[in-house]
């Protein structure tokens, strides 16, 4: 199951996943790595990302932005949760309190403020769908980044939104922690476990900034200091430029563009563009047509002027934050080895200069400025997932606030406001450190822990609370009780023990109604789905009408009956007018109308297809028939000495077939194209396959007769030789229970199969086929076994040599090859089998009837070839799934059944396509299926039970819907080539999912 790392900023969002062992950033619907963080609502659906971005101005009254900055916030109230003036200024439609007390957007189409948590849930669902489409399979496990200043309430709101979107929130990760993960994991060889490498991490995003100093080791990282500022980011610079431009505009026209929300949004676009230009140029012009009251904005600003503004309004706050971080870390700037920067604002020269001057060294940009947080999140997700074997690398965080404990005697929560408070962990302490404090308390008593004010029932930094019910044993010190607590690996605080006392954990009431949010999101997603489908149907309808009109006067003109031209044209015009008048019709009505037009046009489209197919494919088909005819006229190994008259009967059938085709072609020259064709290519292919099947069956019978004749001749020679030597005569064939098969001894190169004295080998190394001698007669003289096996050896070697020669000759394109696969049917590969799947149940080939089956033979512990080929199989299946739906069923059959147990193949299959069916079985079952597919496998090098190799064939086998062999693909064929070839087969055979 793929995992996702999501970084949602106030400007853009990045989604990362892991593909083939490497981090991959998900591309959105316009093939960009970054997606705008905004939403816009219409009466029938919600828009997110690039679709919503243009709506921020045109539909600003129903648009939302700055989602992460507002989640879990309130209008007034607690200082840590209250929205700021910047939040209100950059909201396109204003903010207001929702009925639950949290902030929402004033959307014009809603009677009440639109809850920010609902917007975030919808946006997360949009990102999830985007990732699923990019990866090809659903992704549910998510690690999402949050700003360092987030309170516990805000983290809970983020988790709520993730779950409401139908995802599983594995962790909510601090942005600086994610940066540290991305930095440390990919520099393990440069780090040491003995001496730490101290690195400063500075991130300045659209709305906030964070800084941290970390000690990096080879297996872990430890934060020394961590600070953040909630309202220090790129939008501060945007506001600064907007005020400068508004001042110029007001002086010229006497009106302030900042007073109107829509005009303010237009001005912000100009300011952002100007900021980007000044990051790389010494001067920038700015302009906006009809900015306000039909007046244009025009002006110019130099980088020096911009830098001067930054020094007054932005850099002092940034410098203060960075100095606080340096002072907290306990190290001098000389001990800091590097300074890594991230975030869009760090591209501005004056900002870079300010950061560099504080740390006294050149800045490093080895981290991807816009993707490092998402990369760190997906690394954390992989380390926590059972689907990935990821090396563990932990970042030990520090508390940004002190942890206090409120002691409520008697457990009466009405006395919480007057309870005593004790600080149990100072700010800046490592979260990994176990917490132990000694308190004077007597049961019953209630303890409340918080990073804020534990006496405040609505404290946004609440951690946990317990009720100490009774004392079980005396404590070490009379009246003094040791209370223990700790943070888990996800940063969640919990009480772990109270000395000699029994306690119960008190659950805090739910801050949000999860069911309400989940139900709302499910209904909204369904509404979006229906509307999107309606718009697609509407688009398809319009496209069909215009396409039919164009084709009727062009490529399809001769396929339309003259009496239908006028009627069809009139109906198309009527449908076009109806569509214009009924643009808002429901999905069902549009689908019904589209079906009616398709029903009228489909027969014409089919006629065009049939005639075009004959025009494009007929020459190649006739050449193929002629080639088959020539093969029937020539005697070759494939006929096994068949009489000429029987062979020529097939030649006459093909000649007659060719003549009938040419006669029909002549008759069809004057045949009107709007009438049904006299014949189709499908009919020709069907008749050709019947003749080919007859030839295949005849050749098979001749082969059996030839082998039987050779066996009888060998027996006769053996009997004569035995009589001449005076040995006991051999038993007659009818008296023997069964003939011994030719024995396989060495299988280093190729595959040997037993089939009544015939040995076939794949064309590799011929010289290593060894036949073990049999024992002599009882009296010590050479008995019948020696002579018999001498003859058998000769027959085996001669037959094998002929087989190798013929197969190699076929590779050179010789038409007299023994198989003639391209011209006459398919090689004798495959057959029914029964094996055991990952659930321990028997599975037969017939279970997959109706689907194409793609099989690969390998073993679980294969170090290199099998993983590459299984990835190839997965890619082929994913490509075909996207094109045609789930038509192809991938199978993996082990050639090492003794080691590859049901449990092992079940675990192995998780790394590949979710529909992959891994199969194992007994040694006999595997030998049987390998023989049917002519798969070679042999025990190779072995050091230990876990370190071994098995030499085996590297081939993918494709079977049709009935389990019959269709094609095979070797190691050098790419996934795209295989998918394209199978796609042609699917289209040709008209296979449906």
- Domains of the chain: total: 6
- Determine the structural domain holding residue 872 and report its residue range: 834-989
Residue with the two structure tokens 């980088």: 303
Summarize the confidence of residues 352-359 as an average pLDDT.
95
- Crossing angle, helix 587-633 and helix 562-581, to 10 degrees? 140
C-alpha–C-alpha distance, residues 803 and 811, integer Å: 13
Rounded to 5°, angle at Cα 723 from 720 and 726 = 155
Summarize the confidence of residues 356-375 as an average pLDDT.
93
- Give the pLDDT confidence score for residue 232 in this predicted structure: 94
Specify the CATH number for the domain of residue 125: 3.30.420.40
Domain boundary among 777, 811, 845: 811
Residue 756 included in any domain: yes
pLDDT band at 433, cuts 50/70/90? confident
- Please provide the average confidence, as pLDDT, over all residues in the chain: 85
Higher pLDDT, 303 or 937: 303
Residue 973 shares a structural domain with residue 866: yes
By the 10 Å C-beta count (0-12 exposed, 13-18 middle, 19+ buried), 716 is classed as exposed
Residue 502 shares a structural domain with residue 519: no
Annotated binding site: 862, 866, 952
Give the Å distances, CA to CA, from 383 to 124, 139, 354, 438. Answer: 22, 16, 36, 36
Report the DSSP beta bridge partners of residue 909: none
* Chain segment 321-336, per-residue pLDDT in tens: 999 999 999 899 999 9
- In the predicted model, is pLDDT for residue 820 greater than 90? no
% residues pLDDT > 70 (the chain): 88
C-alpha–C-alpha distance, residues 803 and 751, integer Å: 12
Residue 606 included in any domain: no
Which has the closest alpha carbon to 13: 90, 122, 149?
A: 122
Tell me the three state secondary structure of residue 33.
coil
- In the predicted model, is pLDDT for residue 886 greater than 60? yes
Q: What share of the chain is helix, strand, coil (3-state, %, to 5)?
A: 45, 20, 35
Q: What DSSP state is assigned to residue 427?
A: T
Please write down the HEC assignment for all residues of 569-612. Answer: HHHHHHHHHHHHHCCCCCHHHHHHHHHHHHHHHHHHHHHHHHHH
C-alpha–C-alpha distance, residues 178 and 665, integer Å: 70
Residue 240 shares a structural domain with residue 289: yes
Residue 572 shares a structural domain with residue 429: no
Summarize the confidence of residues 298-326 as an average pLDDT.
94
| Mean pLDDT lowest among 373-377, 672-676, 782-786 | 782-786
Summarize the confidence of residues 601-624 as an average pLDDT.
92
Higher pLDDT, 219 or 458: 219
Q: Find out whether 805 and 813 touch, Cβ atoms under 8 Å.
A: no
% residues pLDDT > 90 (the chain): 55
Residue 625 included in any domain: no
C-alpha–C-alpha distance, residues 469 and 74, integer Å: 36
Report the DSSP beta bridge partners of residue 302: 283
The 10 Å CB-count burial string (b at 16+, else e) for 200-213 is: bbbbbbbbbbbbbb
Residue 500 shares a structural domain with residue 531: no
Q: Cα torsion for 879, 881, 887, 893, to the nearest 10°?
A: 60
| Mean pLDDT lowest among 569-583, 818-832, 843-857, 894-908 | 818-832
- In the predicted model, is pLDDT for residue 581 greater than 70? yes
- Give the pLDDT confidence score for residue 921 in this predicted structure: 93
Specify the CATH number for the domain of residue 565: 1.20.1270.10
Summarize the confidence of residues 889-898 as an average pLDDT.
94
Annotated binding site for Cu cation: 862, 866, 952
- Give the pLDDT confidence score for residue 428 in this predicted structure: 85
- Give the pLDDT confidence score for residue 513 in this predicted structure: 83
Give the count of beta carbons closer than 10 Å to the beta carbon of residue 637: 16
Residue 847 shares a structural domain with residue 884: yes
Summarize the confidence of residues 537-556 as an average pLDDT.
91
pTM of the predicted protein model: 0.68
How large is the C-alpha radius of gyration of the chain? 39
C-alpha–C-alpha distance, residues 676 and 603, integer Å: 10
Residue 303 included in any domain: yes
Summarize the confidence of residues 255-275 as an average pLDDT.
92
**Token reading at 427:** 């700010």
Half-sphere exposure of 646 (CA within 13 A, CB side): 12
Residue 691 included in any domain: no
C-alpha–C-alpha distance, residues 393 and 218, integer Å: 8
- Give the pLDDT confidence score for residue 947 in this predicted structure: 53
Specify the CATH number for the domain of residue 337: 3.90.640.10
Residue 498 shares a structural domain with residue 533: no
Residue 564 included in any domain: yes
* Chain segment 92-136, per-residue pLDDT in tens: 888 999 988 899 999 988 889 999 999 999 999 999 999 999 998
- Give the pLDDT confidence score for residue 829 in this predicted structure: 80
- Give the pLDDT confidence score for residue 736 in this predicted structure: 38
- In the predicted model, is pLDDT for residue 739 greater than 80? no
Whether the upstream peptide bond of residue 444 has omega within 30° of 0, thus cis, is: yes
Q: Cα torsion for 56, 62, 67, 72, to the nearest 10°?
A: 160
Residue 275 shares a structural domain with residue 423: no
Residue 773 shares a structural domain with residue 839: no
- Give the pLDDT confidence score for residue 939 in this predicted structure: 61
Give the count of beta carbons closer than 10 Å to the beta carbon of residue 278: 23
**Token reading at 233:** 């980011």
- In the predicted model, is pLDDT for residue 406 greater than 50? yes
Which has the closest alpha carbon to 200: 340, 396, 368, 334?
A: 340
Report the DSSP beta bridge partners of residue 97: 103
Domain boundary among 343, 368, 393: 368
Residue 577 included in any domain: yes
- Adjacency order of strands within the sheet including 480-487: 435-440, 480-487, 493-498
- In the predicted model, is pLDDT for residue 791 greater than 60? no
C-alpha–C-alpha distance, residues 12 and 369, integer Å: 13
- Crossing angle, helix 644-668 and helix 681-724, to 10 degrees? 170
Summarize the confidence of residues 717-744 as an average pLDDT.
56
Residue 849 shares a structural domain with residue 970: yes
Q: Find out whether 223 and 201 touch, Cβ atoms under 8 Å.
A: no
Residue 713 included in any domain: no
Residue 154 shares a structural domain with residue 265: no
Residues across the chain: 993
Q: Residue ranges of the alpha helices (H) in 66-196?
A: 67-70, 85-89, 116-135, 152-164, 175-185
Phi-psi category of residue 410: left, alpha or beta, with phi > 0 → left and psi -120 to 50 → alpha: left
| Mean pLDDT lowest among 424-433, 733-742, 866-875 | 733-742
- Give the pLDDT confidence score for residue 936 in this predicted structure: 77
Residue with the two structure tokens 């023997």: 736
C-alpha–C-alpha distance, residues 823 and 699, integer Å: 13
Which has the closest alpha carbon to 119: 11, 46, 175, 12?
A: 46
- In the predicted model, is pLDDT for residue 359 greater than 80? yes
Specify the CATH number for the domain of residue 852: 3.40.30.10
- Give the pLDDT confidence score for residue 647 in this predicted structure: 86
* Chain segment 758-776, per-residue pLDDT in tens: 333 333 333 333 333 333 3
Residue 8 shares a structural domain with residue 62: yes
C-alpha–C-alpha distance, residues 146 and 397, integer Å: 14
C-alpha–C-alpha distance, residues 594 and 597, integer Å: 5
Domain boundary among 559, 574, 593: 593
Report the DSSP beta bridge partners of residue 892: 856, 918
- In the predicted model, is pLDDT for residue 182 greater than 50? yes
Of the chain, the end-to-end C-alpha distance in Å amounts to 23
- In the predicted model, is pLDDT for residue 753 greater than 80? no
- In the predicted model, is pLDDT for residue 833 greater than 70? yes
Give the Å distances, CA to CA, from 514 to 146, 176, 510, 764. Answer: 20, 29, 8, 65
């Amino acid at each position: 199951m793929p995992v996702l790392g999501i970084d949602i900023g106030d400007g853009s969002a990045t989604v990362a996943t892991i593909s083939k062992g490497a981090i991959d950033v998900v591309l959105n619907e316009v093939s960009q790595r970054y997606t705008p963080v905004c939403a816009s609502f219409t009466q029938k659906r919600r828009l997110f990302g690039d679709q919503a971005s243009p709506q921020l101005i045109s539909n600003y009254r129903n648009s939302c932005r700055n989602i992460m900055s507002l989640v879990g916030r309130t209008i007034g109230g607690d200082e840590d949760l209250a929205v700021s003036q910047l939040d209100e200024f950059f909201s396109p439609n204003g903010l207001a309190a929702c009925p639950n007390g949290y902030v929402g957007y004033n959307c014009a189409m809603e009677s009440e403020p639109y809850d920010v948590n609902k917007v975030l849930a919808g946006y997360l669902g949009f990102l999830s769908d985007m990732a699923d489409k990019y990866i090809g399979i659903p992704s549910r496990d998510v690690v999402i980044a949050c700003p360092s200043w987030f309170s516990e309430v805000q983290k809970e709101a983020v988790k709520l939104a993730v779950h409401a979107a139908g995802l599983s929130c594995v962790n909510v990760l601090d942005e600086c922690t994610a940066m540290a993960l991305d930095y440390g994991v990919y520099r393990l060889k440069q780090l040491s476990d003995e001496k730490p490498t101290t690195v400063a991490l500075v991130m300045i995003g659209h709305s906030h900034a964070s800084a941290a100093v970390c000690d990096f080791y080879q297996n872990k990282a430890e934060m020394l200091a961590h600070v953040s500022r909630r309202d220090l980011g790129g939008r501060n610079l945007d506001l600064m430029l907007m005020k400068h431009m508004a001042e110029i505009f007001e002086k010229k026209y006497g009106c302030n563009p900042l007073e109107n929300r829509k005009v303010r949004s237009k001005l912000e676009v100009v300011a952002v563009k100007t900021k980007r230009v000044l990051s790389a140029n010494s001067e920038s012009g700015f302009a906006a047509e009809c900015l306000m009251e039909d007046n244009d904005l025009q002006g110019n600003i130099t980088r020096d002027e911009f830098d001067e503004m930054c020094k007054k309004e932005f850099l002092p706050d940034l410098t203060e934050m960075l100095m606080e971080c340096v002072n907290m870390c306990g190290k001098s700037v000389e001990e800091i080895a590097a300074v890594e920067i991230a975030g869009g604002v760090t591209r501005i020269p004056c900002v870079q200069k300010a950061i560099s001057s504080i740390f006294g060294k050149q800045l490093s940009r080895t981290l991807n400025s816009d993707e490092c947080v998402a990369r760190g999140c997906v690394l954390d997700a992989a380390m926590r997932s059972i689907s990935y074997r990821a090396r563990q690398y932990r970042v030990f965080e520090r508390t940004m606030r002190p942890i206090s404990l409120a002691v409520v005697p008697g457990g009466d929560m009405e006395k919480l406001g007057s309870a005593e408070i004790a600080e149990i962990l100072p700010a800046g302490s490592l979260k990994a450190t176990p917490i132990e404090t000694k308190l004077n308390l007597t049961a019953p008593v209630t303890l409340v822990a918080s990073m804020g004010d534990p006496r405040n029932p609505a404290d946004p930094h609440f951690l946990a609370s317990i009720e100490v019910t009774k004392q079980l044993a005396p404590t070490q010190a009379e009246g003094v009780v040791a209370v223990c607590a700790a943070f888990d690996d996800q940063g969640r605080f919990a009480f772990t023990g109270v000395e000699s006392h029994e306690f119960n954990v008190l659950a805090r009431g739910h801050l949000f109604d999860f069911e309400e949010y989940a139900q709302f999101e499910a209904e909204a997603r369904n509404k979006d789905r229906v509307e999107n489908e309606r718009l697609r149907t509407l688009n398809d309808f319009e496209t069909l009408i215009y396409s039919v009109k164009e084709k009727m006067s062009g490529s399809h003109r001769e396929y339309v009956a003259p009496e239908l031209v006028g009627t069809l044209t009139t109906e198309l015009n009527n449908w076009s007018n109806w569509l214009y008048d009924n643009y808002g019709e429901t999905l069902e009505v549009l689908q019904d109308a589209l079906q009616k037009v398709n029903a009228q046009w489909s027969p014409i489209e089919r006629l065009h297809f049939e005639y075009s197919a004959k025009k494009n494919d007929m020459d190649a088909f006739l050449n193929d028939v002629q080639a088959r005819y020539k093969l029937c006229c020539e005697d070759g190994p494939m006929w096994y000495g068949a009489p000429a008259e029987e062979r020529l009967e097939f030649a006459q059938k093909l000649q007659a077939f060719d003549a009938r085709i040419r006669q029909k072609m002549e008759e069809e020259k004057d045949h009107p194209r709007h009438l049904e064709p006299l014949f189709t290519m499908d009919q020709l292919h069907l008749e050709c396959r019947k003749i080919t099947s007859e030839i295949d069956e005849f050749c098979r019978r001749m082969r059996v007769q030839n082998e039987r004749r050779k066996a009888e001749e060998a027996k006769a020679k053996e009997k004569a030789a035995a009589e001449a030597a005076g040995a006991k005569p051999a038993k007659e064939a009818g008296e023997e229970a069964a003939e011994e098969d030719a024995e396989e001894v060495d299988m280093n190169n190729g595959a040997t199969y037993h089939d009544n004295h015939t040995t076939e080998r794949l064309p590799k190394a011929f010289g290593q086929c060894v036949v073990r001698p049999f024992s002599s007669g009882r009296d010590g003289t050479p008995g019948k076994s020696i002579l018999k096996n001498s003859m058998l050896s000769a027959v085996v070697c001669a037959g094998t040599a002929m087989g190798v020669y013929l197969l190699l000759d076929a590779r050179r394109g010789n038409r007299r090859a023994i198989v003639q696969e391209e011209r006459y049917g398919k090689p004798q590969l495959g057959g029914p089998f029964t094996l055991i799947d990952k659930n321990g149940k028997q599975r037969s080939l017939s279970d997959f009837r109706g689907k194409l089956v793609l099989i690969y033979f390998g073993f679980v512990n294969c170090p290199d070839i099998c993983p590459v080929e299984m990835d190839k199989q997965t890619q082929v299946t994913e490509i075909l799934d996207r094109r045609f739906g789930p038509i192809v069923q991938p199978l993996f059959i082990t050639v090492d059944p003794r080691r590859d147990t049901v449990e092992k193949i079940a675990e192995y299959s998780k790394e590949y396509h979710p529909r992959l069916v891994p199969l194992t079985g007994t040694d006999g079952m595997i030998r049987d299926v390998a023989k049917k597919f002519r798969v070679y496998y042999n025990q190779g090098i072995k050091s230990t039970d876990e370190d071994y190799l098995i030499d085996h064939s590297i081939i993918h086998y494709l079977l049709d819907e009935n389990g019959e062999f269709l094609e095979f693909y070797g190691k050098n064929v790419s996934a795209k080539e295989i998918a394209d070839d199978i796609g042609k087969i699917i289209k040709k055979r008209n296979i449906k999912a």
